[in-house]
């Protein structure tokens, strides 16, 4: 079976995840998304964004926030491999993701990911000063990562630094319509619509 990496929009990835993912809803935003197709039929998607955990958002790391297939053999490893190559091409040095405890992670190991931390069930990101919807499933997880030798461990940074690109320059908060459906905001793509562009914000 021939598997081919194909581009997908956030809307297309979200639709696929809604239809096929066992226990997660689509993410709210992304840096980029990838699809994998077999004979012209989309059989899997991966969505990559900034790390959800703020202490891992060190300007050199991205996270595969969703990886979802219809069960096609080798589709997951194909997506993870492509996600890593795209991550490196964008100038980042580490890619992380999570599996539930008990899952083998065979697709991750095939690409070179290694398990780095066992995590207890997380109650969610809801805080008094930052309200979030509680997760429907709090389960133990394993964090996996793949990194280059140039990656440095996360260090404390100011909020302004966290909004900059890997090379240290500020990403302008310009909103641009993509395919008439998605937007680019602070370097993140969201599924909102727009009919106009916001002005550039000076660094």
Asked if the 3-122+132-152 domain carries CATH number 3.30.10.20, the reply is no
Bridging pattern class, strands 182-185 and 188-190: antiparallel
- Domain limits of the chain? 3-122+132-152
Weakly modelled stretches of the chain, pLDDT under 70: 22-23, 124-127, 132-137, 153-203
Alpha-helical regions (H) of 71-122? 75-89, 106-111
Each residue of 157-191: pLDDT tens digit? 544 444 444 444 333 333 333 343 444 333 444 45
pTM above 0.85, yes or no: no
């Amino acid at each position: 079976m021939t598997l081919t990496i194909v581009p997908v929009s956030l809307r297309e990835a979200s639709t696929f995840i809604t239809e096929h993912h066992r226990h997660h809803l689509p993410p709210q935003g992304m840096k980029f998304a990838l699809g994998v197709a077999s004979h012209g039929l989309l059989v899997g998607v991966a969505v990559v964004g900034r790390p959800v955990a703020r202490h891992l958002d060190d300007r050199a790391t991205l996270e595969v926030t969703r990886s979802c297939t219809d069960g096609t053999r080798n589709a997951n490893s194909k997506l993870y491999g492509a996600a890593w190559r795209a991550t490196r091409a964008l100038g980042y040095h580490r890619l992380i993701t999570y599996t539930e405890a008990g899952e083998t992670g065979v697709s991750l190991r095939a690409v070179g990911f290694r398990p780095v931390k066992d995590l207890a069930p997380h109650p969610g990101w809801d805080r008094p000063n930052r309200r979030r919807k509680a997760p429907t499933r709090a389960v133990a997880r394993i964090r996996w990562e793949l990194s280059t030798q140039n990656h440095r461990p996360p260090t404390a940074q100011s909020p302004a630094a966290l909004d900059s690109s890997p090379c240290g320059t500020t990403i302008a908060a310009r909103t641009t319509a993509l395919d008439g459906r998605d937007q680019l905001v602070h370097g993140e793509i969201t599924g909102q619509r727009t009919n106009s562009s916001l002005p550039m914000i000076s660094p």
